[in-house]
Structure 1
Amino acid sequence: MTTRTKRPAVRFRRSASLAVAAGIATIGAIPLLAESLWFLPILPVPIAVAVWAWRAGTDVDDDGFTVRALLGSRRVSWQAVDGLVSQDGSVQARLANGHFVKLDAVRPDDIQRITALTGQ
């Protein structure tokens, strides 16, 4: 029986400076609450941006890719992908059914890394 060794996934994420800036904005929003509770709806915005900046991105491995967003994720196998398309500074996967999936945080320069990893 042969054992297939799985290569680790390559993770594409946005700059960590986004999460740091959102953290600073969260700390800056706290003193507004001392003035009035009417400012309470402001606090979730920088928290959501911090979580999005930390979580959102694309994970690529031998079997396919996973696109992660703030609240969910989507897994797509390489068998369902017809090709990778670079458009307007972003990368999209063209699926066999004609739909497109945007690969978050993947730049056009990263397409070669993805094809080298997958061997396709």
Structure 2
Amino acid sequence: MSAELVIAAPLLLLILLAIVQFALWSHATHIAQAAASQGLTAARAQQGTAAAGTAGAKRVLDALARGPLTGPGIDSTRTAESASVRIFGTATSVLPFLTLPVHAEASGPVERFVPLPAGSR
């Protein structure tokens, strides 16, 4: 009986830690996606910039990512037609020697004012 317990107990603990690790990685991915979406909202506004997208994403990361997402980085770009925000980092590690990368990206067209043609009202 004790020989089985010696083998089974560490294995069960390892499985439990793997479940916790997956939950932390999933939570970190959701935080990164929320930050990318918020950054995209700021970057694609009519007078928005890539710097505004970075600032919007940074506000979300400062508020949410202190635990599950470590070493977050932000990459924002904006052209005349599109904007994108990319968040990257690693999930907090529970299992030794395991680092899981986290990546999220949001992109979309920029908002533009297009006047209605004359007589279309």
The TM-score normalised by the length of structure 2 is 0.32
Bigger CA radius of gyration: 2
Using CA pairs below 8 Å that are at least 6 residues apart, which structure has the higher relative contact order?
Answer: 2
The TM-score normalised by the length of structure 1 is 0.32
Instruction: Identify, as 1 or 2, the structure richer in strand.
Output: 1
